[in-house]
Homo-oligomer: A and B are copies of this chain.
């Protein structure tokens, strides 16, 4: 049954949850960079990858995604999803630049969830809300200009986990978080025929091409990670939003590379 890229395995492959890449993504992103006590990073960053620097970023994203034929855009329940991505900077290896690691990420569609797992983005289901900037001068439009206020939130299993607020300055911003440096993730599955053994992670990063950006508009921000009985973001302790940005970006993922 070679046509099913992923389960379910049918003779046509039509209903495979995920089709083979390339995967094209375009979306609206609100990005909040933050600082935290680096020593706490070890709760979320694997030792073998390095140590947390105490810098991180939360990305609230409102995506459209499709394959080469773009049919998902004609039936957008297949194209659209929202997610919250948390990345933590890890200390650079000798002679290399900054890198990020994605310990936690939350999404609201199954297709995106599995595409993420395969790339090393360990997605769980969560509900993301993020204000959009509309190209209008109007009280509800939050346009991309100085003074507009945007909000974003994430909830997981019926509890608020992240709250962020951004006030745009109208100035141009640089790239933040996973937009600025390679981001590593962990892929691995346990084998239930040996249920006493946990999954062994393998470190990958997405093979990204064809990035386009609208430019990023800067903002100041506040950010809170709330305590949760299962989720672990609050283990980072107090976080302090350092800078923020908002804008649109498109990328294409054609596979993954060893990290």
Give A44's nearest chain B residue, CB to CB: B10
Using known A-B contacts A9-B188, A76-B129, A110-B124, determine if residue A20 contacts B195 with beta carbons closer than 8 Å. yes
Contact with B along A191-221 (1 / 0, CB 8 A): 0111110110100100100101110000000
CB–CB B17/A124 < 8 A: yes
| Shortest Cβ gap from A231 to chain B (Å) | 5
**Is the C-beta of A159 less than 8 angstroms from some C-beta in chain B?**
yes
Give A203's nearest chain B residue, CB to CB: B9
| Shortest Cβ gap from A175 to chain B (Å) | 15
CB–CB A140/B70 < 8 A: yes
Q: Which of A104, A118, A157 has the most CB of B within 10 A?
A: A157
CB–CB B4/A199 < 8 A: yes
**Is the C-beta of A6 less than 8 angstroms from some C-beta in chain B?**
yes
Give A25's nearest chain B residue, CB to CB: B140
**Is the C-beta of A38 less than 8 angstroms from some C-beta in chain B?**
no
**Is the C-beta of A21 less than 8 angstroms from some C-beta in chain B?**
yes
Which residues in window 135-150 of A have CB below 8 A to B?
Answer: 135-142, 149-150
Contact with B along A217-259 (1 / 0, CB 8 A): 0000000000001111001000000000000111010111110
Using known A-B contacts A15-B104, A149-B73, A204-B193, determine if residue A28 contacts B131 with beta carbons closer than 8 Å. no
C-alpha spacing A249/B138, complex, angstroms: 9
CB–CB A150/B199 < 8 A: no
CB–CB B151/A15 < 8 A: no
**Is the C-beta of A46 less than 8 angstroms from some C-beta in chain B?**
yes
C-alpha spacing A226/B188, complex, angstroms: 36
Taking CB atoms, residues of chain B closer than 8 Å to A192 are 21, 118-119, 187, 204, 207, 255-256
Using known A-B contacts A139-B252, A140-B25, A153-B158, determine if residue A124 contacts B8 with beta carbons closer than 8 Å. yes
Taking CB atoms, residues of chain B closer than 8 Å to A232 are 10, 12, 14-15
C-alpha spacing A132/B213, complex, angstroms: 16
**Is the C-beta of A66 less than 8 angstroms from some C-beta in chain B?**
yes
| Shortest Cβ gap from A214 to chain B (Å) | 5
Report which A residues bind B (CB closer than 8 A): 1-15, 17, 20-21, 24-28, 42-44, 46-47, 63-66, 68, 70, 73-80, 103-104, 109-110, 113, 117-119, 122, 124-125, 127, 129-132, 134-142, 149-153, 155, 157-160, 163, 165, 186-190, 192-196, 198-199, 201, 204, 207, 210, 212-214, 229-232, 235, 248-250, 252, 254-258
